[in-house]
Structure formats: structure tokens, C-alpha cells
């Protein structure tokens, strides 16, 4: 059972508690291994973000409640943890996560890429902005282009400004403004 204090904590507080207990390097490595499929949540040979020293630190709960249809949530939670605890070595796995079959993983990886300005995420996000079926992914990918995109990514944002979903249109317009300001030129 997860302690009430942990359940009431913000995701950032939970991630920080896990990092304090495990160390940043162990935590980020574990999260990227989960994200990339090199590890499975609940493997007894690996650290467990949920329980450290017999004490619940993450609020993730037990991996036993996940089945084949919901197993992707461990990848979502791993990526979400990387919003708060980061290492440059996480970048390649976050970029690879942009191609995950689960849309929530793609969205969270885009959020992480924007937060930590992961440059190599720009190209896959340019594709997601115009082709992903899920508006939340398209909007998150737009924000990545605002944070790390280059002039060649502006076309994807211009196309997304006419997206059928309002949240995507708004995110693309803001990202285009951010990109123009960052590159100091009209696009």
C-alpha cells in the first residue's frame, strides 16, 4: 500500500524522493531502460522506483496491476520521472520514445524533450506535428519545435496552425513565435 503522503505529493516531489533514495544516475538509467524496453517494471533484479528500502517513494503502486493492454503506463511514468530528474545520457531513449506505439508515451517523451531542450528530437517531432493521430501528441511535438527546432521545421508548424484541433493550432502558433524569436528571424 502506498502511503498517503506519497499519493499527495506532486510528480516532481515523487521523482525527487526516488532520486534521493536511489541516486540520480541509477534512477535515470532505470527510467530509460524501462522506456526503451531494456527493463521490465517489477523485475526483482532491478531497482524499483515504487519501493526503496521498504518505503513507498513514487506512488506508482505495484506492477502487478498492469496487464498487456496497460503495460505501457510504466513507460509513461518512466518518461514523466525524466521531466524532473535528468541526465544528458537520457536523450537518445527519449527521442526513440517519440516513436512508441502508445500515444501517451509519445506525448510524454515530447514533453521531456521540450523541457530539457533535446535537439535531436526536432526531426521526429516535425513528423509528429503533421502526422500523429492524437492531437495531444501533435501539440506536444509543436512545443518541441519551438524549443529546439530550426528554420527547416517551420513548415510543419505552419501546417499545424491550420490543424483541425484547436489545442494543436494554439501550440503550433506559440511554437512558431518562439522559434522565430529564438532564431531571430521571420519564418
Do both 154 and 171 map to the same domain? yes
Q: Are residues 42 and 64 in contact, defined by beta-carbon separation less than 8 angstroms?
A: yes
Could you give the number of structural domains in the chain? 2
Do both 167 and 96 map to the same domain? yes
Do both 77 and 40 map to the same domain? yes
Domain that holds residue 1: 1-86
Instruction: Report the candidate in 16, 25, 27, 11 with the shortest Cα–Cα distance to residue 60.
Output: 11
Which mean pLDDT values do the consecutive 10-residue runs of the chain (187 residues) have?
62 85 91 92 68 49 71 92 96 98 98 98 98 98 98 98 98 98 95
pTM, two decimal places: 0.90
Do both 185 and 118 map to the same domain? yes
Looking up residue 136, the CATH number of its domain turns out to be 1.25.10.10
Per the structure block, which three cell numbers stand in for 130?
503533421
Burial of 176 (0-12, 13-18, 19+ CB in 10 A): buried
Of 66, 86, 106, at which residue does a domain stop?
86
Amino acid at each position: 500500500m502506498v502511503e498517503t503522503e506519497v499519493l499527495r505529493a506532486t510528480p516532481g516531489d515523487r521523482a525527487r524522493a526516488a532520486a534521493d533514495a536511489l541516486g540520480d544516475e541509477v534512477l535515470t538509467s532505470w527510467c530509460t531502460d524501462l522506456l526503451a524496453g531494456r527493463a521490465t517494471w517489477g523485475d526483482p533484479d532491478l531497482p524499483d522506483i515504487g519501493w526503496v528500502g521498504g518505503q513507498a517513494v513514487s506512488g506508482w503502486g505495484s506492477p502487478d496491476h498492469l496487464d498487456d493492454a496497460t503495460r505501457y503506463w510504466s513507460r509513461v511514468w518512466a518518461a514523466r520521472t525524466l521531466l524532473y530528474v535528468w541526465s544528458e545520457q537520457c536523450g537518445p531513449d527519449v527521442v526513440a520514445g517519440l516513436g512508441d506505439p502508445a500515444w501517451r508515451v509519445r506525448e510524454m517523451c515530447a514533453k521531456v524533450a521540450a523541457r530539457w531542450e533535446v535537439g535531436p528530437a526536432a526531426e521526429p517531432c516535425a513528423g509528429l506535428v503533421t502526422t500523429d493521430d492524437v492531437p495531444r501528441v501533435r501539440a506536444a511535438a509543436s512545443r518541441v519545435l519551438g524549443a529546439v527546432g530550426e528554420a527547416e521545421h517551420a513548415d510543419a508548424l505552419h501546417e499545424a496552425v491550420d490543424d483541425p484541433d484547436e489545442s494543436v493550432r494554439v501550440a503550433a502558433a506559440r511554437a512558431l513565435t518562439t522559434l522565430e524569436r529564438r532564431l531571430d528571424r521571420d519564418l
